[in-house]
Amino acid sequence: MIDTIAVVGATGAVGRIIIESLLARKFPARRIKLLASPRTAGKPFTVAGTTFDVEVLRPESFDGVAIAIGSTPDEVAAEFVPWALERGTVVVDESGYFRMRPDVPLVIPEVNPGDIDKHHGIISSPNCSTTQMVMVIKPLHDAARVRRVIVSTYQAVSGAGLAATQELEQATADWLQGRGGTKAIFPHSIAANLIPQIGSPRPGGSTSEELKMVHETRKILGDESIGICATCVRVPVANCHSESILIETETKLSAAQARRLLALAPGIIVVDDLEQKIYPMPRDCSGRDEVFVGRIREDDSGPNGIALWCVSDNLRKGAATNAVQIAEVLAARLGTRPLGAPVRA
């Protein structure tokens, strides 16, 4: 057991779920320390019946902290992570700031747990849309080597924060009343609409979100040869990202083989009976930690393709749960390490 784990950005939507998960999973730490900005610190914060004090994030906050999970914007991560490293704290970072640094492991515990041991004080958790896709790709890649992936995402507004969820509610009310739709977080009204842009434009016509899926997937799987074409779309769904994925493999897999491989993979639940109208849907998957897969079928337009549909709670496995799982592995490694001792692998 470690002495203290800190949650940075504790009062945000993902921060709250991280705390809930630490409590529910009985994380092996004597103390959970909550850190946040001066705007929300200093007030009691109750999660799952447990009330915590929230401290202001500052360099000395990491004194005596073995592990910190950060759920903050990139610019906040860039500032606080060096403070933590100076004090011997290992950081599991949810932001995108460190993900593509070659010396920082990018980890999904069900996919590449061995990379945790390569850390130098920082371990990154992937983008939510990447996480669920790679969970699905991994067992097929191990069995038949994935050569190419074409993915279209249907991403819930919760991925853009609590204010975005509130905007969906207000915009929908406006639209139903025949008023102009609210738009503040999103560039267009999200009510009864689809917005085929998530992130900023990049050369060549892709967006930053789409390129995250490309580069993060290759890094996690350790294979730069995989071709990936992603189109990321924001949809008027409160929570849970959905993805339509076409996976081309080097060796042919039948739909039955793919279904078996996915059913045996850790963290995946197959929900697939088209005749009975049974398949994963966001309303059924919200609040769950697994990745749900259905509509598994062979691609008749090519020789070695498997098409499927997957849904996952982007705030949980796509963010909070994945980080907590990484921290659990770290806690097992650090349980006997004296506080303040070097953390470099």
With bands split at pLDDT 50, 70 and 90, how would you rate the model's confidence at 265? Answer: very high
> Measured between alpha carbons, how far is 331 from 51 in angstroms, rounded to an integer?
23
Q: Can you list the alpha helix ranges (DSSP code H) found in the chain?
A: 13-24, 74-86, 128-144, 162-176, 208-221, 255-264, 282-285, 321-334
Mode of pairing for the β-strands spanning 291-298 and 241-249: unpaired
Q: What is the CA radius of gyration of the chain?
A: 20
Residue 344 has pLDDT above 70, yes or no: no
Contact 300, 1 (CB under 8 A): no
Residue 249 has pLDDT above 90, yes or no: yes
- Give the pLDDT mean for 180-195: 91
For the four alpha carbons of 34, 241, 257 and 213, in that order, the dihedral sign comes to negative
Contact 146, 226 (CB under 8 A): yes
Cα atoms found within 13 Å of the Cα of residue 156, Cβ hemisphere only: 26
Find residue 312's DSSP bridge partners: 241, 291
- Give the pLDDT mean for 61-79: 97
Position 190, amino acid: I
- Give the pLDDT mean for 50-78: 96
Instruction: Establish whether domains 2-126+319-334 and 129-314 are of one fold.
Output: no
Mode of pairing for the β-strands spanning 90-93 and 67-70: parallel
> Measured between alpha carbons, how far is 161 from 193 in angstroms, rounded to an integer?
18
With bands split at pLDDT 50, 70 and 90, how would you rate the model's confidence at 335? Answer: low
The whole-chain average pLDDT of the chain stands at 94
Q: Where are the domains of the chain?
A: 2-126+319-334, 129-314
Residue 122 has pLDDT above 80, yes or no: yes
Contact 41, 52 (CB under 8 A): no
- Give the pLDDT mean for 233-241: 98
| Superfamily grouping for domain 129-314 | Dihydrodipicolinate Reductase; domain 2 (3.30.360.10)
Q: How many helices (H) and strands (E) does the chain have?
A: 8, 14
- Give the pLDDT mean for 150-174: 95
Provide the pLDDT for residue 53: 93
Q: pTM of the full predicted structure?
A: 0.93
Return the DSSP state at 114. G
- Give the pLDDT mean for 196-200: 97
Mode of pairing for the β-strands spanning 54-56 and 45-47: unpaired
Q: Give per-residue pLDDT as tens, 23-62.
A: 999 999 999 999 999 988 888 899 999 999 999 999 999 9
Residue 79 has pLDDT above 80, yes or no: yes
- Give the pLDDT mean for 141-162: 97
Return the DSSP state at 207. B
Find residue 68's DSSP bridge partners: 6, 91
Position 302, amino acid: G
CATH topology of domain 2-126+319-334: Rossmann fold (3.40.50)
- Give the pLDDT mean for 267-280: 98
- Give the pLDDT mean for 111-133: 97
Find residue 270's DSSP bridge partners: 293
Structure tokens at 184: 């503040």
DSSP helix/strand/coil, 39:
coil
Share of the chain above pLDDT 70, in %: 97
Closest-CA residue to 227 (of 320, 120, 150): 150
Residue 186 has pLDDT above 80, yes or no: yes
3-state per-residue secondary structure call for 261-329:
HHHHCCCEEECCEHHHCECCCHHHHCCCCCEEEEEEEECCCCCCEEEEEEEECCCHHHHHHHHHHHHHH
Contact 38, 56 (CB under 8 A): yes
273 CB-contact burial (10 Å; exposed 0-12 / middle 13-18 / buried 19+)? exposed
Among 103-117, 170-184, 222-236, name the one with the lowest average pLDDT: 170-184
Return the DSSP state at 240. -
Residue 336 has pLDDT above 60, yes or no: no
Provide the pLDDT for residue 144: 98
Provide the pLDDT for residue 337: 46
Provide the pLDDT for residue 181: 73
Residue 80 has pLDDT above 90, yes or no: yes
Residue 333 has pLDDT above 90, yes or no: no
Give the active site residues.
128, 241
- Give the pLDDT mean for 91-117: 97
Provide the pLDDT for residue 345: 27
